[in-house]
Amino acid sequence: MKLWSDSWTNGDRIGERYAAGRIDGAGVGFSDNLNPHLTWSELPTGTQSLVLICHDFDVPSKGDDVNKTDREIPSDLPRVDFFHWLLVDLPPTLTRIAEGEFSRGFTARGKPGPAAPHGARQGLNDYTGWFAGNAEMAGQYFGYDGPFPPFNDSLVHHYVFTLYALSVKRLPLEGAFTGAQVRAALAGHVLDAATYSGTYTLNRRLLRA
């Protein structure tokens, strides 16, 4: 199985057009939030559906120091996963996702779901939990919402897009499912997988390095 993109070179910095956040003057603000182009090939025999997951594995496990102007988040702080995109039940006849096909701009309170193009379904990304306590932004965030790492993080964040070829036509999930639920539901159904990754930071010190 192969997965690639014209949006950036594998492993390189992700362009801000594909991010939810960008540097804006002296601070940060929302960006274009376009889902990237992705293409795949060489699916294994017997593939019945595809699942696409995007996650960041560099998210701080504690929010005490997040986005503080007088300090950086220490690099040795334990990190956790943050899911940016959960897309299930893609048909095996599909070979690509176009740039901006699933996301254009950041939507306060979240984009609708779970129904998605190509007969697929999208789960809740982790901005749902991030904005849960914000009266203006709280909601269910379905679909793709790109990178918006803390502007004071001492680590550059890594974003991994993983495409799974499955032996079932429909993943056994219902309603507004989460990243942990998708990972659990994949068990026993994965025929093959491929990844494509990129990095992103809003830390000005790291950008100057």
Report how far residue 184's alpha carbon sits from residue 190's, in angstroms, rounded to the nearest whole number.
11
Tell me which DSSP letter residue 52 carries.
Answer: E
Q: Give the pLDDT score at 112.
A: 97
Q: How many domains does the chain have?
A: 1
The 3-state DSSP class for residue 81 equals strand
Q: Which of 55, 20, 56 is nearest to 35 (CA)?
A: 20
Alpha helices in the chain (DSSP H): 127-130, 179-186, 204-208
- pLDDT tens digit string along 105-127? 999 999 999 999 999 999 999 99
- pLDDT tens digit string along 149-190? 999 999 999 999 999 999 999 999 999 999 999 999 999 999
Domain holding 158, by residue range, is: 2-208
- pLDDT tens digit string along 123-135? 999 999 999 999 9
Structure token pair of residue 152: 């004071």
Q: Give the pLDDT score at 208.
A: 87
pTM score of the predicted model: 0.97
- CATH number assigned to the domain comprising residue 110: 3.90.280.10
- pLDDT tens digit string along 19-71? 999 999 889 999 999 999 999 999 999 999 999 999 999 999 999 999 999 99
